[in-house]
Amino acid sequence: MSPVHADSFAELRRAMVEEQLRRRGIKDKRVLEAMTEVPRHLFVPPGQYDEAYDDRALPIGQGQTISQPYMVGLMVSLLDVQPEHKVLEVGAGSGYQAAVLSRLAESVCAVELVPQLAERAARILADLHYDNVRIMTGDGTVGCAEEAPFDRIIVAAAAPEIPEPLTEQLAEGGVIVAPVGNRLVQTVVRAEKRGSKLNTTRSIDCVFVPLRGRHGWND
Ligand code: SAH
């Protein structure tokens, strides 16, 4: 890619952060910096680079989508990731949100059900030398027992409820953010683990592709 192109994408990215995130109330400085840094266009299908910074979700193949920038900014801000944290993402998709998380955390384990998507995400992240992210192929609703506990867990597909194994694999005091609801509309939910209890707060309504797998939608 020519330097001229690289510069224009950086410009589009700054505008995205200013207009779609900061102006709509996303304040977390580290999240804004990470989203200014991560080249979102590389995660959308080639040929659609010019649309990568638009204010919407985009198709990434296999019937799946890369989330709208605002939704990534909001959910990752709610997650409150600190530099020493170990993070689990369920639904890696394009790998974009995992890339953003990798700028904020010690390490990220991102699980994707669709092998073709997982392979592409892993390749892009490796090309960028984002070496603290590991993409795994499989059903993320069962979590990732060999890497647990996690300080933070984020679910990037619509869940009927927070999958039990994820709550179990969350560290004490840890936070999980997930879109919870029915298949048509969900609410972004943030839950903090205190002993055997989850203290839950609700944020905005949203629309995600369905979470499949053992603790997702199976029809
Ligand atoms: N975070 C992604 C967008 C996610 S779209 C990004 O930044 O691009 C939701 C993804 O969840 C889809 O790719 C879908 O294949 C995946 N998914 C659905 N059910 C899953 C499951 N049980 N385990 C892992 N991934 C799942």
- The reply to whether ligand 1 has any atom less than 6 angstroms from the CB of 96 is yes
Q: Which of 38, 161, 212, 217 is the pocket-test mutation for ligand 1 (most atoms within 8 Å of CB)?
A: 212
- CA–CA separation, 7 vs 4, rounded Å? 5
Give the span between the Cα atoms of 134 and 125, in whole angstroms.
Answer: 9
In the block, tokens 């193949």 appear at 61
Q: Which residue's C-alpha comes closest to atom 26 of ligand 1?
A: 91
Residue 65 Cβ contacting ligand 1 at under 6 Å: yes
Task: Give the model's pLDDT for residue 218.
Answer: 84
pLDDT at 211: 98
CA-97 nearest atom, ligand 1: 7
The crossing angle, in degrees rounded to 10, of helices 3-15 and 29-37 is 150
Which regions of the chain does DSSP assign to beta strands (E)? 58-61, 64-66, 86-90, 107-112, 133-137, 150-155, 170-181, 186-194, 197-206
Model-level pTM?
0.97
DSSP string, 13-45: HHHIIIIIIGGGT---HHHHHHHHHS-GGGGSP
Give the per-residue pLDDT at 7: 80
In the block, residue with structure tokens 């933070």: 152
Q: CA angle 106-40-75, nearest 5°? A: 55
Contacts of 37 (CB under 8 A, 6+ apart): 103
Q: Which residues pair with residue 193 across a beta bridge?
A: 198
Pocket flag, ligand 1, residue 77 (CB < 6 Å): no
Q: Distance (Å, rounded) from C-alpha 194 to C-alpha 206? A: 26
Per-residue pLDDT of the chain (219 residues; tens, 9 = 90+): 555 576 899 999 999 999 999 999 999 999 999 999 999 999 999 889 989 999 999 999 999 999 999 999 999 999 999 999 999 999 999 999 999 999 999 999 999 999 999 999 999 999 999 999 999 999 999 999 999 999 999 999 999 999 999 999 999 999 999 999 999 999 999 999 999 899 999 999 999 999 999 999 986
